[in-house]
Amino acid sequence: MDLKNMEKTRELRVALVSEGRSIEEESFAIIEKEAKIDGYSDQEWTIVRRVIHTTGDFDYANIVKFSSDAVESGINALLKGASIFTDTRMIAVGLSPWRLEWFGSSVETPIRNHETQYLAEEWKTTRSAAAFRIVADRLNNSIVAIGNAPTALLEVVRLIEEDGIRPALVIGVPVGFVQAAESKELLMSVKKVPHIVSVGTKGGSTVAVAILHGLMECAREDR
């Protein structure tokens, strides 16, 4: 590619980025106008608004719940470069590399370890649960983000209650009809670790990503 074509390509990319930002800003303005905001702090609303933007679902203005120290603890963890542990590769892939670079945070998805299949059979549990059990000693001061597997969230809660692990923040938003709502209710009953949840059956990996991105934006502003 010659210099002239390279310059045209660069200009096109800049224009596309600018257009993307304009669309995002317009979307946020619509959300601000249409959503019924009740009881969120400014930083919590920054996160919830991004979830609504990602999903196109205004229900999230009512079902995203924060423990009192969730945002502060998550921000402090990011500013210290905390690792992020996810239950799905979709979350890991969905996180913006340039946002992660702001804090130097690494992202790990324990279920990628092939041993989880054999350990799950040995422990008579799911691979998702086994995945978090084998990294339990590394979860302290980390951010845990679960968007798909209720059994992973149940295992994290068990590790908190029985083994005394202390993540800086647990984002529990598994989606589905089996154990999803129950696992989130259980997390909310735990007072020992800050948490963000989506009450009920709604959630998913994209919601977990949106929450993390919103939290990162808040942390960048606080830095």
CA-based torsion, 52, 57, 58, 64: positive or negative? negative
Please tell me whether residue 111 adopts helix, strand or coil conformation.
helix
Q: What ranges do the domains of the chain cover? A: 1-34, 40-222
Assess whether pLDDT exceeds 70 at residue 19. no
Q: How many CB atoms lie within 10 A of CB 95?
A: 20
To the nearest 10 degrees (0 to 180), the angle between helices 205-222 and 42-55 is: 140
- Annotated catalytic residues are 53
Residue pLDDT, tens place only, 56-98:
999 999 999 999 999 999 999 999 999 999 999 999 999 999 9
Radius of gyration of the chain (CA): 19
The DSSP bridge pattern shows strands 143-146 and 169-172 to be: parallel
Class of domain 40-222: alpha beta
For residue range 109-134, list pLDDT tens digits in order: 999 999 999 999 999 999 999 999 99
pLDDT value of position 25: 78
What is the value of pTM for the model shown?
Answer: 0.88
Buried/exposed 72-89: b ≥16 CB within 10 Å, e otherwise:
bbbbbbbeeebbbbbbbe
Between strands 64-66 and 195-198, the pairing is antiparallel
